Structure 1
Amino acid sequence: MPRVLVAGSFNVDHVWTAARLPRPGETLAGRYATGPGGKGFNQAVAARRAGADTSFLCALGADAGGELARALARTDGIDLREAPSAAPTGTAGIYLDEAGNNSIVIGAGANAHLSAEFVTAQADAFADAAVVLVQLESPAPAILAALRRARAAGSLAMLNPAPANAEVGAELLASSDIVTPNETEFAGLLERRVGRAPPDAGAGTLPDAQLHALCRELLPHGTVVLTLGGAGCFVSHAEDRRRGDEAACYRAAAAPARVVDTTGAGDAFNGALAASLALRPEAPFTTHVGFATRYAGASTEREGAAAAMPHLAP
């Protein structure tokens, strides 16, 4: 079975839901829930529930949060490979309004201790991986090591440059075949890596030709998938690497959904895209994007992050 390898973060999510998000200095009454999260774990669960065998490289503490990660990985059949840490397992505080909008604060904890040495040592996991997916809630050296290992093993190297405030070095982009920013992350990448001022009204409002040109500046050799929330996504390929698509750039509409919680929608998209690429490498890229948008839409119809990932195969 084709395998997806995800390297990244695990968090215990603490979620407060109120009618609206609190303003600075304001106290609101609401509801509380807790559950598993972290971009890495969310994406690993999505990839597994989308049908791909999945390995997950992370760092965990010797605490209840770490035990939760191990138990959930066993339940979903995820090959969990953990770097032990003296720090507590990562946490996230999530504030959610009734429209499904959220604000998030993360405490890295053990996630900050995922090392390049640990990642590099997992040679057998990389050897079996068709797609390697990473994000930026873990230290950059570990993430770069994963991308380089992917390239060395002949795997597809996929970077989700999230969260938006993370530093994305030139080496990370150069080592990636596919990059999947949202609009905020894309604006930051343009400003820091290309020296372009972000569009005032959001990148998604730009004409396709102009947006495609910006993507080519950002990642000349690969594919950029710009996720646009309810507006779907924009795909931009290098001219000589269209991944089976007829067009070098195009938009894909979002799937209809009865939105309850958007917290893990981006992670659902990335995990499902990785799974589809691994399971059907011969299919055109537009097929994989279509599945990922449907999967992400389905994930918003339930509360939670990792727990909301649907069992839905391409």
Structure 2
Amino acid sequence: MATPRAGGVVVVGSFNVDHVWQCDALPQPGETRAGRYHSGPGGKGFNQATAAARAGASTSFVCALGDDAGGALARTLAGHDRIAMLAMDSAEPTGTAGIYVDAAGRNSIVIGAGANAALDRGFIDRHAPVLSGAAVVLAQLESPIEAIEAALRHAKAGGATTVLNPAPANAETSAALLALVDVLTPNETEFVALLARHASTALPADAIAGLDDGTLHRLCRTLLPHGTVVVTLGAAGCFASLPDGADAGDGPRWHRAAAERAAVVDTTGAGDAFNGALAASIAHDAGGDLRAQLRFAGRFAALSTERAGAAAAMPTRADVTARFGE
């Protein structure tokens, strides 16, 4: 098992054992469909930690696990990728997810939080030195908000860059949590949920990619005035909005990046691939060229969709270089 080191990426979040059925079409209410089954590691936190590690970052993972086969699997797989595992022991079973994937690679997911819901502030506080010593701390919202807020607070105290992937869209958020965020990375569904909750703005998710850049930038500034917002747009790529005063050269304080072409097999975990790779890129070159960081993250995510699974589908930095060059 790897040992936590200063710098690098610390991911705070969930681990799930994924139970996956691949079928021709996603089942409708009341419908039974035939499918092909497999099981593997997942959870947004572990997916992102695996992505960060395979993207080249020294990576630690803070989570909660049950005393069961799922917990043992998490520890074994973390060791394979040299991820330093900082796991709180829980009486609850290790988290699980039921995932359906259709022929186009689209998915539908139901999560059983289990031990993930037990991660508490006390455990986070005991690992404050790891968080405050990181270059980047990355979190999601499959763990209790109190634990996530505490983790980002320790990160800020040490000068780390804080990245929040506000997923899933229906998770609790607060103004206090957003105030701790340097980089916010919602997808379209998560973005409109945050706008409705924190900016009293109602928009359909499928309208976001089609907004003009100036309008989308203004919405991002309304949501997170002090930080960078990166909205992932699926096949439409991503949109990044920089705060006032950020160095954007001679151009506007926003940037839209196209998605890389991919032979899609399974989109499960693609957003996690993007987040982990972006965190690794920021840790490698803090204050570096955001366009280059987004390009690397987009390429990493594209390759992840060409393989089935979540954490297991994450490519390596060498894979990205072999496919796309430096």
TM-score class, shorter-chain normalisation, is over 0.9
TM normalised by structure 1 equals 0.97
The residue number in structure 2 matching 1:41 is 46
- The answer to whether structure 1 residue 91 and structure 2 residue 96 are counterparts is yes
In 1, the alpha carbon distance for the partners of 2:136 and 2:118 equals 23
Tell me by how many angstroms 1:210 deviates.
Answer: 0.7
- The answer to whether structure 1 residue 75 and structure 2 residue 80 are counterparts is yes
Tell me by how many angstroms 1:200 deviates.
Answer: 6.7
- The answer to whether structure 1 residue 14 and structure 2 residue 19 are counterparts is yes
In 1, the alpha carbon distance for the partners of 2:94 and 2:254 equals 40
- The answer to whether structure 1 residue 54 and structure 2 residue 59 are counterparts is yes
The residue number in structure 2 matching 1:249 is 254
In 2, the alpha carbon distance for the partners of 1:242 and 1:198 equals 30
Tell me by how many angstroms 1:127 deviates.
Answer: 3.5
Tell me by how many angstroms 1:63 deviates.
Answer: 0.1
Native 8 Å contact 1:35 1:304 kept in 2: yes
In 1, the alpha carbon distance for the partners of 2:58 and 2:257 equals 27
Tell me by how many angstroms 1:77 deviates.
Answer: 0.2
Native 8 Å contact 1:245 1:284 kept in 2: no
How do 1:125-204 and structure 2 match up within 5 A? 125-199=130-204, 201-204=206-209
In 2, the alpha carbon distance for the partners of 1:103 and 1:225 equals 23
Where 1:205 maps in the other structure, the secondary structure is coil
Structure 1 residues 210 and 60: alpha-carbon distance in aligned structure 2, compared to 1, 3 A threshold:
same
Native 8 Å contact 1:244 1:284 kept in 2: no
Matched residue count: 314
The residue number in structure 2 matching 1:211 is 216
Where 1:204 maps in the other structure, the secondary structure is coil
Question: Match for 1:51: what amino acid?
Answer: G
Deviation readout 1:38-85 (Å, 9 max, x if unpaired):
000000000000000000000000000000000001111000000100
In 2, the alpha carbon distance for the partners of 1:17 and 1:200 equals 26
Native 8 Å contact 1:190 1:218 kept in 2: yes
Structure 1 residues 258 and 25: alpha-carbon distance in aligned structure 2, compared to 1, 3 A threshold:
same
- The answer to whether structure 1 residue 263 and structure 2 residue 264 are counterparts is no
Tell me by how many angstroms 1:201 deviates.
Answer: 4.1
The residue number in structure 2 matching 1:114 is 119
Identity %: 61
In 2, the alpha carbon distance for the partners of 1:171 and 1:219 equals 12
In 1, the alpha carbon distance for the partners of 2:188 and 2:278 equals 18
Tell me by how many angstroms 1:288 deviates.
Answer: 0.5
Structure 1 residues 112 and 126: alpha-carbon distance in aligned structure 2, compared to 1, 3 A threshold:
same
In 2, the alpha carbon distance for the partners of 1:254 and 1:182 equals 14
Q: Select the residue among 311, 315, 319 that pairs with 1:310.
A: 315
Deviation readout 1:198-229 (Å, 9 max, x if unpaired):
14742111111111100000000000000000
Tell me by how many angstroms 1:100 deviates.
Answer: 0.2
Residue ranges of structure 2 left out of the alignment (5+ in a row): 1-5, 319-325
In 2, the alpha carbon distance for the partners of 1:108 and 1:244 equals 44
Native 8 Å contact 2:188 2:206 kept in 1: no
Q: Which moves more between the two structures, 242-251 or 88-97?
A: 242-251
TM normalised by structure 2 equals 0.94
Q: Select the residue among 301, 304, 308 that pairs with 2:306.
A: 301
In 1, the alpha carbon distance for the partners of 2:81 and 2:208 equals 37
Tell me by how many angstroms 1:135 deviates.
Answer: 0.1
Native 8 Å contact 1:147 1:157 kept in 2: yes
Native 8 Å contact 2:266 2:308 kept in 1: yes
In 2, the alpha carbon distance for the partners of 1:70 and 1:208 equals 43
Tell me by how many angstroms 1:120 deviates.
Answer: 1.5
The residue number in structure 2 matching 1:279 is 284
Tell me by how many angstroms 1:282 deviates.
Answer: 4.3
Over the residues paired in the alignment, what is the CA RMSD in angstroms?
1.4
Question: Match for 1:267: what amino acid?
Answer: D
The residue number in structure 2 matching 1:288 is 293
Residue ranges of structure 1 left out of the alignment (5+ in a row): none
Native 8 Å contact 2:164 2:181 kept in 1: yes
Tell me by how many angstroms 1:270 deviates.
Answer: 0.1
Structure 1 residues 94 and 84: alpha-carbon distance in aligned structure 2, compared to 1, 3 A threshold:
same
In 2, the alpha carbon distance for the partners of 1:5 and 1:36 equals 19
